[in-house]
Structures are given as C-alpha cells and as structure tokens.
C-alpha cells in the first residue's frame, strides 16, 4: 500500500533501516521498518490516513481498529480525519475495572475495518480478529501498510 513517495518519506524520518534484524516472527531481514516513529510525524500519519481512505472508501464498516500497538496511532489518525468511530483491542486483559479486551463503544454484529502496520506471518492479525470476534464483532476487511509476503495472505 505504500507509495514510492511515502516510502521515501519513511526513509527520511528514519523509519526504514538496513542491517541484520530479527523480526517478531523469528525470521531475519536486511530491512527493518519501524512505523512506531509515526507518532512523531503527524503529517506522515495524516498522509497514511488519506491513503487508507482512498483504498477503503468502497468498503462498508462501522468501526476502525488498529492492531496493537503500532497501528493504534494510524487508526486514531484515520478515525479523527474521517470521523469513523474507533475501538481499541488490548494486548492483555486488565486485572481491574471492566476487565475488557476491547475498549470503546460498540454493539454485537458491527463491522470492523482492521488496520495493521506490517504483516509478516499474519499472527498478530489473527490474534486481533479472534478477540474482536469473541466480542461479537465482525471483521471482513483488513488493511496492511506493508506486506512482507511471508505467508500472511495464505494464513488469512
């Protein structure tokens, strides 16, 4: 989904690094994309929100959710710019309060557009989908900014 211009911008802010990196999946890569830096680049976040909207404007959904943690600021920027309600999937259940895994206002059966920063194996996406479905939400569409093409599409 990243365009050449956006990729160059990510490189300029230091989000694209070269070297020898071990990814969350355990595989190694000569390229590391650190989209956590986007929280310090509001113009880039806004540009990403616009690109996501362009790619998803034909889809029907009620809520937006970012896969924790890196996609949460991306989902927030999208939610604010396009006035789409957002929910938040927790990485772990709180031991106090509501003890909910999904935060926000939602009703069973609502459709969620799920945003992911980088997909490798699809494991984080699947974990998030499982939690959202357990909360009786429906996930039909996901958007990933970067697909490392290492099996996620087949997994999903």
pLDDT of residue 23: 85
From residue 155, alpha-carbon distances to 50, 60, 116, 121, 151 in Å are: 28, 23, 15, 7, 6
Res 151: pLDDT: 56
Residue 153's pLDDT is what? Answer: 57
pLDDT at 56: 98
**Residue 63 contacts residue 104 (beta carbons within 8 Å):** yes
Residues of the chain with pLDDT under 70: 1, 149-156
Q: Span 41-155: which CATH code?
A: 3.40.50.2020
Q: Compute CA 156 distance to the chain's CA centroid, rounded to the nearest angstrom.
A: 15
Question: Can you tell me which residue has the tokens 């604010």?
Answer: 80
124-154, pLDDT tens digit by residue? 899 999 999 999 999 999 999 988 765 555 5
Would you kindly state where each structural domain of the chain is located, as residue ranges? Answer: 41-155
């Amino acid at each position: 989904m990243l365009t050449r211009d956006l990729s160059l911008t990510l490189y300029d802010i230091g989000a694209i690094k070269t070297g020898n990196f071990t990814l969350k999946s355990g595989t190694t890569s000569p390229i590391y994309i650190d989209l956590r830096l986007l929280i310090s680049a509001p113009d880039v976040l806004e540009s990403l929100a616009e690109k996501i909207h362009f790619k998803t404007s034909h889809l029907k959904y009620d809520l937006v959710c970012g896969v924790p943690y890196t996609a949460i600021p991306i989902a927030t920027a999208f939610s604010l710019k396009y006035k789409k309600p957002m929910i938040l999937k927790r990485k772990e259940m709180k031991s106090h309060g509501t003890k909910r895994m999904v935060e926000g206002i939602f009703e069973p059966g609502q459709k969620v557009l799920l945003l992911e920063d980088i997909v490798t194996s699809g494991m984080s996406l699947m974990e998030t989908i499982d939690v959202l479905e357990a909360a009786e939400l429906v996930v039909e569409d996901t958007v990933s900014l970067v697909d490392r093409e290492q099996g996620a599409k087949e997994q999903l």
